[in-house]
Amino acid sequence: MASPTGPTRTPAKLHQGADAEGGVGDSPLRPDGTLKVTGEFAYSSDMWHEDMLWGCTLRSPYAHAEIVSIDTSEALEQAGVYAVLTYDDLPAEVKKYGLEIRDTPALAHGRVRHHGEPVALVAADHPETARRAAARIKVEYKELPVVHDEASALAEDAPLLHPGRDDHHAPHVPHPNIVHRQPIVRGDVASAAERADVIVTGEYEVGMQDQAFLGPESGLAVPAEDGGVDLYIATQWLHSDLRQIAPVLGLPEEKVRMTLSGVGGAFGGREDLSMQIHACLLALRTGKPVKIVYNRFESFFGHVHRHPAKLWYEHGATRDGKLTHMKCRIVLDGGAYASASPAVVGNASSHAAGPYEIDNVEIEALALYTNNPPCGAMRGFGAVQACFAYEAQMDKLAAELGMDPVEFRQRNAMSQGSVMPTGQTVDAPAPVAELLRRVKSMPLPMEKQWENVGGRADVRALPGGLSNTTHGEGVVRGVGYAVGIKNVCFSEGFDDYSTARVRLEVVGGEPVAVVHTAMAEVGQGGITVHSQIARTELGVTRVTILPADTQVGSAGSTSASRQTYMTGGAVKHVCELVREQVLRRGREKFGTYHPAWATAELLLEGGKVVTDGGEVLASLVDVLGDEPVEAEDEWRHRPTVPFDLETGQGFGHVQYSFAAHRAVVEVDTELGLVKVIELACAQDVGKAMNPQAVVGQIQGGTTQGLGLAVMEEILVDPKAKVRNPSFTDYLIPTILDTPTIPVDVLELADEHAPYGLRGAGEAPTLSSTPAVMAAIRAATGKALPRVPVRPEHIVEA
């Protein structure tokens, strides 16, 4: 049964004193922290079974081609090979899967649609044997014309990548190669444009970014005696995987049992399936456990990436700096399969105006099917691309008006009560102007900080770093600002809920809370927060978090900055149910001995039942005795609705989060090299459930935004082949690239959320990228409409 979603009382006393240490608002040590930094943590790639086989995937060398024939005979003849599977060996009628649109074949059939698409599988007794056998599979291809951009996708004679598609978006798009389109219209743009004193336009481009998580895709499938399979997997959403896997295996969901194994980061890249179905197919075919581990090269083909985008914007403003209108068109490249593209379109369109009050808007966002690598969820989820463009526009307008860029933003900043372009009223704190004020008031780093270090220049603080390309000649400082808005939780009418099971029992003479959810701990610290919530609500010190699996109800995805809000909310709610049972049992046992049992508001604190005045009535051990107390329930946030497909109006998002950045950069204008010195951030988190973890989330998101600004991009050639699938050629920030990141955390409670919290993980990824770019523009005077920026963009005439 669903629970009410309104705010509930927080037992304030539990935040105080030694007994409450490790509760909500504290920063206890992460239980997995020491293991991870010492290299002892067991990731999914570390799993082992004594008689296991190794799986390997044969992938297409072409981005678009007809499969003429497949000959597996030589692979099957190789010693040590137990199975070779192609599309024709799939056991069930359902042979495709997908997050929302079931358009992705488990193995390619008829044709391949992107470089690296899985074509065949091998199981062998050694990973090298499996790889050699896969190389002996003979596939004859006939190359087809490649769809690689909007022009080739929407041309009159364009190849249809999914002919005959019948998904629910198909009737509402003007061309079959458009996955989804969302317009948003509000007010009268034409009339507003006539009142504008200044109008600026811009065309912007965002490259394809990779999640670059630490642990490549891996898992272990073990066949079971009941004909089912047990899958140990690194993922972001166990139950979504289960929903997609079981039909392709031809099994009921109860026969596909999934357990979360150690996850080395995700950032959206594990929302889609990778090797899950393949490992299970091989295990069921061979009757043996099968392990699949991608190497880094294969990982670039094994998961979706951030949508590259092209964006066109127009803004108008009056002479006194008030926005009159905006128009924009956002084209996202979804690649070969839908993945999360429809939801990314919804996010891009609904956040396209940014955290500003604009009464008149015309917005169009769409995602394309192309033969480029599939794109889907990545931290920021559509709002990142929009933020880069609208923040560049804000700087353009401020320059045209001769205004300070921060003051201009503050003059138009939304606040609580503002109305979004979708018609939704923002009914929680929206401190956009205050965040900008705070980040601007932070002290600036010293000028020429590379000087006077032991009497000589410290080249590590200069563009080019240890390559020693400059000692300050031609280096110019730039400072830039940006602010962004991001939704929290699932949106547009999605039934967003999480399930928790909590048991309170006596172990070794001490009360212990046992928490069981299916939440995917991907490094965000969710298991720590769940322990904090249980300590706070149940007044215990010891909390056990059971492994996440599908033996408990869904916790939804570890994405959309939702897990603390949703699964944390579920844990809080179920702990309250447990507390009610404990107090009811206490009244039945001891109520006749003390009138406070019947008259006072009672709390669980420090392993005891106490009155609100602090008087101890009984210990939890005495109340519980030998009978544990347990509860399980689902918890939902307030409902949202889908955006209207013509106007984009609707209460589409349950909560918004905001962050602002100030970037300080040094640019070698002669070589085009950039050194980011500082990325200061101010962010409202509603309630810092774990202050240290919150700062870590903000600094991590900031660094990912930095990567998009200056170095991270998957490059695809004209034939839609990936050119740089390795960390040798796909660059990510190292510690030498990461600047100082001071963080100012606000806590303005959202009354609709548990503890007043606000999702924190994604917002800093939005504004860090345009802040860095604004600073580089300030240093160079160049327009720089594309990220990542490259040296040639800076030095070209």
Query: Is position 166 within any domain?
Result: no
Query: Is position 26 within any domain?
Result: no
Same domain, 599 and 480: no
Residue 567 maps to which CATH number? 3.30.365.10
785: helix, coil or strand?
coil
Task: Pick 364 or 599 by higher pLDDT.
Answer: 364
Query: pLDDT tens across 515-572, in order?
Result: 999 999 999 999 999 999 999 999 999 999 999 999 999 999 999 999 999 999 999 9
751: helix, coil or strand?
coil
Query: Is position 195 within any domain?
Result: no
Q: Is residue 660 within 8 Å of residue 432, measured between CB atoms?
A: yes
Query: Is position 5 within any domain?
Result: no
User: What percent of the chain has a predicted confidence (pLDDT) above 90?
Assistant: 93
Same domain, 106 and 234: yes
How does strand 743-746 pair with strand 673-684? parallel
Spatial distance between the Cα atoms of 344 and 559, rounded to a whole number of angstroms? 13
Same domain, 621 and 517: yes
Residue 19 has pLDDT above 90, yes or no: no
Instruction: Tell me the mean pLDDT in the region 106-130.
Output: 98
Nearest residue to 134 (alpha-carbon basis) of 86, 63, 96, 67: 86
Among 586, 610, 636, the domain-final residue is 636
Which residue has 């008259």 as its token pair? 599
Phi first, then psi, for residue 443 (nearest 5°) are: -60, 140
Q: Is residue 263 within 8 Å of residue 235, measured between CB atoms?
A: yes
Nearest residue to 658 (alpha-carbon basis) of 420, 422, 441, 415: 415
Spatial distance between the Cα atoms of 498 and 557, rounded to a whole number of angstroms? 9
pLDDT at 546: 97
Q: Enter the DSSP assignment of 12.
A: G
Q: How many CB atoms are closer than 10 A to CB 119?
A: 23
Q: Is residue 658 within 8 Å of residue 432, measured between CB atoms?
A: yes
Residue 136 maps to which CATH number? 3.90.1170.50
Q: What angle do CA 207, 209, 214 make, to 5 degrees?
A: 165
pLDDT at 209: 98
Amino acid identity, position 46: D
Number of domains in the chain: 3
Nearest residue to 566 (alpha-carbon basis) of 494, 640, 490, 630: 490
pLDDT at 796: 85
Same domain, 448 and 536: no
Query: pLDDT tens across 715-746, in order?
Result: 999 999 999 999 999 999 999 999 999 999 99
Query: Is position 337 within any domain?
Result: no
Q: For residue 467, what are the contacts with CB-CB under 8 A and spacing of at least 6?
A: none
Same domain, 483 and 510: no
Spatial distance between the Cα atoms of 656 and 416, rounded to a whole number of angstroms? 11
Domain that holds residue 610: 497-636
Query: Is position 278 within any domain?
Result: yes
Same domain, 772 and 674: yes
Same domain, 685 and 586: no
Nearest residue to 378 (alpha-carbon basis) of 701, 100, 653: 701
Q: Is residue 248 within 8 Å of residue 76, measured between CB atoms?
A: no
Query: Is position 776 within any domain?
Result: yes
Residue 8 buriedness (CB in 10 A; 0-12 / 13-18 / 19+): middle
Residue 8 has pLDDT above 60, yes or no: no
Same domain, 608 and 690: no
Same domain, 670 and 769: yes
Among 286, 302, 318, the domain-final residue is 302
Same domain, 627 and 673: no
Query: Is position 462 within any domain?
Result: yes
Residue 20 has pLDDT above 60, yes or no: no
Same domain, 468 and 550: no
| pTM of the predicted protein model | 0.95
Instruction: Tell me the mean pLDDT in the region 444-449.
Output: 92
Same domain, 118 and 232: yes
Amino acid identity, position 9: R
Nearest residue to 355 (alpha-carbon basis) of 437, 432, 436, 435: 432
Phi first, then psi, for residue 718 (nearest 5°) are: -60, -20
Spatial distance between the Cα atoms of 407 and 430, rounded to a whole number of angstroms? 17
Nearest residue to 240 (alpha-carbon basis) of 339, 166, 335: 339
